[in-house]
Chains A and B, each alone.
Chain A
Amino acid sequence: MSAADTTTTQVPPPRRHSSPPGHRTGRPRAARRRRFTLGRAATPWLLLAPCILVLVLVLGYPLVKLGTLSFQDYKKPQLWGFKPATWVGFDNYQAILKDHEFWSVVVRTVLFAGSAVILTMVIGMLVALLLQRVSGWVRTLVNIALVASWAMPVVVAVTVFKWMFDSDYGVVNWTLSQLPGVDYTGHNWFASGPEGLSVIMLQVVWGAIPFVVITLSAGLTQVPKELEEAARLDGADAFGVFRYVTFPIIKPLVVMMTTLSVIWDMGVFAQVWLMRGGHPEPEFQLLTTYSYEKAFGVNDYATGSAIALLTVLLLLGVVAVYMRQMLKIGEVE
């Protein structure tokens, strides 16, 4: 492709939304194109330079380092510079993949993230649809509550959940005990892994729903009312209208939100770390905390890196879907 080709195809065409349509008329495109090819080729790169520099230094370099570390022997002596790091090939990976604990952590992480994503998306979708049907004042109330819970710092939210689920003074145990025949007085939610992780998942889902609801609500307002009405007149029931009219229109948004949720929920760290007071028990370990513990708990940075890299590999497929979606959006512009 010649330089001229690139230029003409990549001039972003004007956007069609979010600004009054009046701005968009007139002005032959050729004139605009000429103006932009006139700019010196170096200018955009100069503008980009600081951004790229920072990202390469603090993200690019560590990313490469993560890869090389995982093939080395890197422990405390290497960290302090007493010994050079030695290459060990696939030894770290072999050790990890043979480890039963690693596999149970993988299964736990996938189950945890999978359930959290499904819960977030389903509840988020239902709430977004519900918000279309309620009166204005209810919608305002719910929106305020959602934005407030969205904005809560994770550390604060986790602290509050820990307090609500406290075994002696927690409001959850008290409330459950009010139900006939139920006694949760003094119940310890973190005695078992699955139950404790469910509480953590509840916090994650509570914190993730607002973003989904608010984004999907915005998407739903762009669904033409006439289309839904037409479907209804043709005899479609509420579910049919959603399935065949509403959903296809907001599908790109749903795909984007789902992939983002997968990435975020696979990366849950602070919640587990904080709820377990900095020392998650074996049955609470997720891939993130497991890698962290290997690196900073027992100073085996190489093994920690290999686990982190395997986590990223696990995520690659999901990221690919997200990228495709974002690129499609990028092309529209």
Chain B
Amino acid sequence: MSALTSRPTAAGRLDAVNRKRRNAKLGWNLLGLLVFVLAAFPVYWMMNTAFKPAKDAIDPKPHFFPWPVSLENFHRALNISDFWGPVERSLIVSASTVVIGAFIGLLAALAISRFAFRGRKVVIVGILTVQMVPLVAMIIPVFLLLNQIHQIDKLSGLVLTYLTFVLPFTVWTLRGFIVNIPKELEEAAMVDGCSRTGAFIRVVFPLLAPGLVATSIYGFIQAWNEFLYALLVMSQDHQTATVWLGTFTTQHGTEYAPMMAGSTMMGIPVVILFLLVQRKMAAGLTAGAVKG
């Protein structure tokens, strides 16, 4: 560069800075869009395959838009094998797990967040440790236990095992929500003549309800998505939805288009539920994490 052009005016310099900043922003945005495409691609590809005519789905040259839209694959998925049976079983198991888990978990969460007692710390450490036990490692003794108490191939047996991962997590998250509700509110109710239980039911519970719902939905999703124990505990005739999808290939060769339709039916409701509660859950789960 020559000496003549190397002395820009103040305005020119500001312009250059602005332009540089705008360009940087554009670059970041493009990078962000790339991340979006990569993250969303599998979900998009699943739905794209599910909604196009079966013969387009297995064209070696991929069609990037499901046009014409067709429900052929969904019909096929529903006809190949019993779909609603597994879904019903999954719903029963997940709902029971969550109802029992939320009730028992709420009691326990109250105990560790609203009472001071000897051994409270031990209980908290216990619940955190339990959360860390890799369930895959426990599958053999759990199977033998269920075998002993005659719960193999029974939905109740599955509910019992699902409680092991739903409970600790429910207790820990509900505790997070409860400690965020000021004790002063409860105390005010008690000063006004409520019993301790009354104060809880009338004051704490309504405030806790959104958190309880979010935790329950999250637990529901966890139970709905579980695969390993469902595979082991339930027989082929009583399989749950995840196992139904997982074993889809082995029974009928690889029919990917109906499989994607099945995946869509199983995955999309979960994604929508999750979108609804995610923000609330993130607040409950990470509360206090940074400050630690």
Contacts and interface: CB of A to CB of B under 8 A. Distances in A.
Contact of A130 (B31, B111, B143, B168): B31
B118 A147 contact: no
- Do most interface residues of chain B lie in helix, strand or loop, or is the interface mixed? helix
Nearest to A2: B118
Interface stretch (B3-11, B12-20, B66-74, B255-263): B255-263
Interface string A138-170: 110110111111111111111111011010110
Contacts of A285: none
Interface residues of A, number: 124
Nearest to B142: A62
Contacts of B260: 159-160, 163
Contacts of A59: 130, 133, 138, 164
A200 to B, nearest CB: 14
B224 to A, nearest CB: 7
B290 A23 contact: no
A31 B145 CA distance: 48
B117 A315 contact: no
B141 A305 contact: yes
A317 interface: no
B180 interface: yes
A208 to B, nearest CB: 12
B118 A3 contact: yes
A235 interface: no
Interface string A319-330: 100110111111
Interface in A193-226: 206, 209-210, 214-215, 218-219, 222
Contact of B292 (A153, A166, A328): A328
A41 interface: yes
B163 interface: yes
Contacts of B118: 3, 6-7, 41
Interface string A56-80: 0111011101100100000000010
A72 B112 CA distance: 39
B196 to A, nearest CB: 7
A303 to B, nearest CB: 10
A66 B60 contact: no
A64 to B, nearest CB: 8
A278 B250 CA distance: 9
A219 B291 CA distance: 10
A291 interface: yes
Given A33-B116, A171-B45, 5 more contacts: A17-B287, A27-B184, A151-B274, A159-B248, A214-B278
Interface of A: 3, 6-7, 10-12, 14-19, 23-24, 27, 32-33, 35-37, 39, 41, 43-45, 47-48, 50-52, 54-55, 57-59, 61-63, 65-66, 69, 79, 127, 130-131, 133-135, 138-139, 141-142, 144-161, 163-164, 166, 168-169, 171, 174, 185, 206, 209-210, 214-215, 218-219, 222, 249-250, 252-253, 256, 263, 266-267, 269-270, 274, 277-278, 288, 291-292, 295-296, 301, 304-305, 308-309, 311-312, 315, 319, 322-323, 325-333
- Chain A to chain B: the 4 pairs with minimum beta-carbon distance, closest first: A151-B274, A62-B141, A329-B292, A51-B108
